[in-house]
């Protein structure tokens, strides 16, 4: 099982994190610091595995970014290594030659994509095409909603109902 995923830049900046095991805010920061110290200092010709706190961290460097996944000690390391590559390939297709900047400014997109590849710390979809299809469909949905929001009739109806709907949302907190 993958406990968490980290994307760290060569300078130690965090670009993406996803936690599948519960870590409190403080622990998360500590883990990131500890691991980036360990991984960034490793030379280029070493293996892609680091043993850490009884877990294994499988990492791989792509240009200036390190992709790291923390797994159980007896998980299959090479399998995880290729999950990383699978993820990178999909990012690459989506952004078109993905680079670090893409991920910095579109980190939310990276989250959407990740959620279609991994879930519960396990690989969810191993077909790149399927993932790409799903992401495109999501984008289309968002676009459609945007167009609808821009249409004149919608703006008018919104203006009329805004006040009421916010009251409802406030009210919801207490009901649920």
Partner 1 sequence: MALSGMRGLSVFISDIRNCQNKELERLRVDKELGHIRTRFKNEKGLTPYEKKKYVWKMLYIYMLGYDVDFGHMEAVSLISAPKYPEKQVGYIVTSSLLNENHDFLRLAINTVRNDIIGRNETFQCLALTLVGNIGGRDFAESLAPDVQKLLLSSSCRPLVRKKAALCLLRLFRKNPDVVNVDGWSDRMAQLLDERDIGVLTSSMSLFVALVARDYDSYWSCLPKCVKVLERLARNQDIPQEYTYYGIPSPWLQVKTMRALQYFPTVEDPNTRRSLFEVLQRVLMGTDVVKNVNKNNASHAVLFEALALVMHLDAEKEMMSQCVALLGKFIAVREPNIRYLGLENMTRMLMVTDVQEIIKRHQAQIITSLKDPDISIRRRALDLLYGMCDVSNAKDIVEELLQYLATADFAMREELSLKAAILAEKFAPDLSWYVDVILQLIDKAGDFVSDDIWFRVVQFVTNNEDLQPYAALKAREYLDKPAIHETMVKVSAYLLGEYSHLLARRPGCSPKEIFAIIHEKLPTVSTPTVPILLSTYAKILMHSQPPDPELQTQIWAVFSKYESCIDVEIQQRAAEYFALSRKGAALVDILAEMPKFPERKSSLIKKAEDTEADTAEQSAIKLRTQQQMSNALTVTDQPPANGIPSEPQLGPVKVPSMSNESLNTKDQVLTQSNGSATNLQTSTPSPDLLADLLSPLAIEGPPVASLESEQNAVTGSEDTATAVDALALATVGDQANTVQPIGNVAEKFYALCLKDSGILYEDPYVQIGIKAEWRSHQGRLVLFLGNKNTAPLVSVQALMLAPSHLKLELSEVPQIIPPRAQVQCPLEVVNLRPSRDLAVLEFSYKFGTDLVNVKLRVPAVLNKFLQPIPVSPEEFFPQWRSLSGPPLKLQEVVRGVRPMPLMEMASLLNSYHLMVCPGLDPNTNNLVASTTFFSESTRAMLCLVRIETDPADRTQLRMTVASGDPVLTYELKEFIKEQLISIPSASLPPQPITQQAPPSSSPISQSDPGAMLAALL
Contact positions with partner 1 (CB under 8 A) in 16-75? 16-20, 22-25, 28-29, 32, 42-43, 45-51, 53-55, 72-74
Minimal distance, residue 156 CB to partner 1, in Å: 15
* Out of 10, 34, 127, 160, the residue judged to bind partner 1 by CB under 8 A: 127
Q: For residues 72 and 151, which CB has a smaller minimum distance to partner 1 in the complex? A: 72
Minimal distance, residue 11 CB to partner 1, in Å: 11
What is the C-alpha to C-alpha distance for residues 75 and 83, in angstroms, rounded to an integer? Answer: 13
Other beta carbons within 10 angstroms of residue 123's beta carbon come to 16
Under a CB-based contact definition with an 8 Å cutoff, are residues 87 and 35 in contact? no
Decide if residue 154 touches partner 1 (CB under 8 A): no
Minimal distance, residue 160 CB to partner 1, in Å: 15
* Out of 10, 37, 63, 145, the residue judged to bind partner 1 by CB under 8 A: 145
What is the C-alpha to C-alpha distance for residues 66 and 8, in angstroms, rounded to an integer? Answer: 5
The size of the interface with partner 1 (CB under 8 A), counted in residues, is: 79
Minimal distance, residue 157 CB to partner 1, in Å: 13
Site for partner 1 in 85-114 (CB under 8 A): 85-86, 94-96, 104-109, 111-112
């Amino acid at each position: 099982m993958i406990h968490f995923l980290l994307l760290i830049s060569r300078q130690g900046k965090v670009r993406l994190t996803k936690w599948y095991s519960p870590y409190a805010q403080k622990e998360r920061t500590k883990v990131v610091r500890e691991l980036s110290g360990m991984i960034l200092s490793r030379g280029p010709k070493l293996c892609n595995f680091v043993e850490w706190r009884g877990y294994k961290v499988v990492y791989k460097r792509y240009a200036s970014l390190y992709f790291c996944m923390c797994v159980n000690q007896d998980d299959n390391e090479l399998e995880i290594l290729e999950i990383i590559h699978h993820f990178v390939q999909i990012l690459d297709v989506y952004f078109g030659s993905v680079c670090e900047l893409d991920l910095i400014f579109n980190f939310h997109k990276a989250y959407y994509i990740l959620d279609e590849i991994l879930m519960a710390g396990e690989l969810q979809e191993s077909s790149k095409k399927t993932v790409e299809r799903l992401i495109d469909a999501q984008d289309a949905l968002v676009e459609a909603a945007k167009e609808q929001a821009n249409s004149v009739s919608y703006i008018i109806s919104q203006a009329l109902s805004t006040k009421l709907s916010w009251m409802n949302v406030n009210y919801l907190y207490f009901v649920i």
